[in-house]
Structure 1
């Protein structure tokens, strides 16, 4: 619940202008739920009026008829999570009658911090939670926190820069990543954020080489270590953004490399883990925080909450220092609100505006519902379900005459990875003559498979199927690409039943749906080639 000083701060906003803003917020809360779920983000959430979908082919209402194996990109909201969002909105309306909308929302968001930590097995002493509209927004928060910890002159070293979100090229330099912020502010994409970008430079380290081949772990480790060494030798402090895991499920650099870096340059390097895919065990998450790493997470990838929902897990040991942060970058005020920051950081959060972002809050309500459902499934079944599904997907891809499964990163066995030590993203290329299909072809096939009309007049499939968006391989002007079929938390929680027979049938249904998706893709390939013959 709210600390007394914080509650007074929020109630103070109920002056004339505050009451007007609160009335407007209450009116907004009565908007259709699907509209709220798609609000308070950036252009990636915009719903196309003709299709009812965002750019990822997702919709803000449940669509159980769609075959969905797209958790490496984004997933439409489930019926269970949609009902959670409905109930949460009704609960907030009741609370707002007693304490006002701002205080009610702030209280609820603080409760969600406790829920998220509990599901992830983290104590309040170990981790604070800073919420944001998306993982990309969280990268800006991480830059601000690193500047507070290390000083304003920073070199951001981004590992697997070709495997992270497209906005990272801008956030790593403290620049706007879109033409508008989640709170509706109009900005210039690529331009510096006032007060955040000064004295920040960035180094991008790709996971793939020019030929589209993944670097081995040893080569990747050396590249990362050398980049940090050059930055520190040059007099800079380093924000090192590492990957766990990438769009293809890879982790880079190794734990050994990170331990060597922190031992060599204590106080010179702050590590932030891009764990937005959330394909890591809870024990590993805890280990990162114990080592003093910031961890960026989302509820919208593996856990299949609706896109987008971001957060940074901050080591609790940092709280006192961060709360005493000096001047807040003026440009960052447009990206954050008071309630994004923990209530036990009263000084820092008092410097941010009090305002509502119902979309961000409701998407996290939905995501927490999915996270809780997943971890309520017995450990043994979570592991068995992911293993069974994974082996089946590998067999289905191997049996296809057109698909080629890409190799997965071999990792040392580590109990901290729990059931997510195994592969959950199955990346594949589509053969075309002597090589794989182009990024352009893969995008066409991706949209048609999702049931969307495409410019090539390729007739879409009748049963929509979402898989992971195509990812370019290499840096050619017209590169080949891979698509992805992914296992998810929802697949596991929906398959679970105390009855072994029922659970088996549920899991087999998901495997059969994967086979249907691949068969549809094969049929689209035939049609695409026939269409190309007439061009």
Structure 2
């Protein structure tokens, strides 16, 4: 993490992939494990924003400019200047996504959305009691979420570069003060559970922890990997009022699929919010942040210090300047990879919100309407259950008004559902193209597109795997403002629909060839 600013042999692309866990490891082909590049790739479609995306031209140019600025600094000025740049990230992020002043919040910048889970835990522990973390829908939040939410390592490599054992405590003393309760969001058939059923389970867990005198850290998942939201904000508000000063709330909005009004209302309620710049907004993988209101639902304390082992995940510049004690306890460091990824993401965020809201909404509704129609016309794909859009201004969930992530199963001609590994192979085949496969139409063979990585939906003793097609902010920007996609807004939306159709048609065709090398023995 302590990247030497004077190692000028590192390229912008290399710095972008630094200061993170093993998900950033770049292979010989120049991509990470999800097929993302840290340099633009012309001609690549991206419907995988629910996982991560290859960096765009706009974002890369922003990162490259930042790299040039830092290289031009006097060596004595680098540390302070980088700290100032982190402060600019905090200010711009809050202004763009929360439409409020950064002075009303503390913002902690993190290497990824998973690392961000450590921050609400440290905040809750600052209240001085044992903490029970109530984690809703962990299996659809991220593979390392359950580990990080209880203060454990979630990957074999930390952002500092140190090797660790996943699932072991970051700090033993912290781990001894934390308990974890999980709440599933799907039933035994993989169907989303009823909101009331989830709410009742959460209410019982929180009530029991509060009765023991513990501090509760309640997670709301504002958009899971497959679009589920839980528990209801109505319940959360009731629990906060029923147990004053004992319930801290953190909203996992890492997917970035939220309304700004809903986000602002949640912050005003005193709820912490975790966000990323690398999913819906389309910044480079990965970049996280935690928005911490000064007046939280669970109290006002902030960490007086950060235990030394957490220095594998945080450097001083990532912490807000108001956290003087915590900053003093953490080692200085540049963490340029984290700063650069957020700088690039902010370029995408500014572009997204510069497009009139009415145009953005039209593109969102286009995607929402065409995907079910396209999937219905395939032989081997079936949509998984997703919650219906919620257009109520007083909704009890923090969510978007349109569905932008569609999970789907893939079934071969003999009725066999493809599992996780075959779906990963399928996603790779779609990502890298199949130009040598003469059994595919030339346009399908040439198509390259990022999809959302497979997710296993489990409940009871049953489980099945889904791929995901997702609309991201960058797709919306392209449909609104890119002349090469059409001379009118309607033509550009039609172009988007054709891209989605071609992508899903290729997936369907590859499933039909599941016994071939395209899926490397999927069956």
Deviation by residue 1:318-338 (Cα, 9 ceiling, x = unmatched): 699545x33422221222111
Deviation by residue 1:350-395 (Cα, 9 ceiling, x = unmatched): 2211111111111001100000000000011011111112212221
Comparing 53-62 and 204-213, the one that deviates more = 204-213
Deviation by residue 1:212-235 (Cα, 9 ceiling, x = unmatched): 221011111111112212222333
**Shift of residue 57 of structure 1?**
0.8
1:284 corresponds, among 254, 258, 262, to: 262
Change (3 A) 1:226 1:410: farther
Comparing 464-473 and 122-131, the one that deviates more = 122-131
Counterpart residue number, 1:524: 510
**Shift of residue 167 of structure 1?**
0.9
**Shift of residue 61 of structure 1?**
0.7
Change (3 A) 1:167 1:34: same
Comparing 299-308 and 465-474, the one that deviates more = 465-474
TM, length-normalised to structure 1:
0.88
| Contact 2:229/2:399 (<8 A) preserved | no
Counterpart residue number, 1:46: 25
1:423 corresponds, among 403, 426, 436, to: 403
2:47 corresponds, among 52, 58, 69, to: 69
**Shift of residue 200 of structure 1?**
0.8
**Shift of residue 76 of structure 1?**
0.5
| Contact 2:131/2:179 (<8 A) preserved | yes
2:450 corresponds, among 462, 466, 481, to: 466
Counterpart residue number, 1:138: 116
**Shift of residue 461 of structure 1?**
4.7
Counterpart residue number, 1:36: 15
Instruction: Say if 2:476 is the partner of 1:496.
Output: no
Matches within 5 A, 1:105-504: 105-120=82-97, 121-148=99-126, 150-194=127-171, 195-317=173-295, 321-322=300-301, 325-410=303-388, 412-415=390-393, 420-432=400-412, 433-434=414-415, 436-451=417-432, 461-475=445-459, 479-497=463-481, 501-504=487-490
Counterpart residue number, 1:509: 495
Quote the Cα distance in structure 1 between the aligned partners of 2:304 and 2:469.
45
Quote the Cα distance in structure 2 between the aligned partners of 1:477 and 1:337.
42
- Structure 2 gap ranges (5+): none
Structure 1 runs (4+) deviating above 6 angstroms are 416-419, 531-535
Q: Name the SS for the 1:28 alignment partner.
A: coil
Q: Name the SS for the 1:350 alignment partner.
A: helix
Matches within 5 A, 1:82-97: 82-94=60-72, 96-97=73-74
- Structure 1 gap ranges (5+): 1-20
Q: Name the SS for the 1:470 alignment partner.
A: strand
Quote the Cα distance in structure 2 between the aligned partners of 1:481 and 1:409.
18
| Contact 1:71/1:468 (<8 A) preserved | yes
How much is the aligned-residue C-alpha RMSD, in angstroms?
2.7
TM, length-normalised to structure 2:
0.90
- The structure carrying a bigger helix percent of its residues is 1
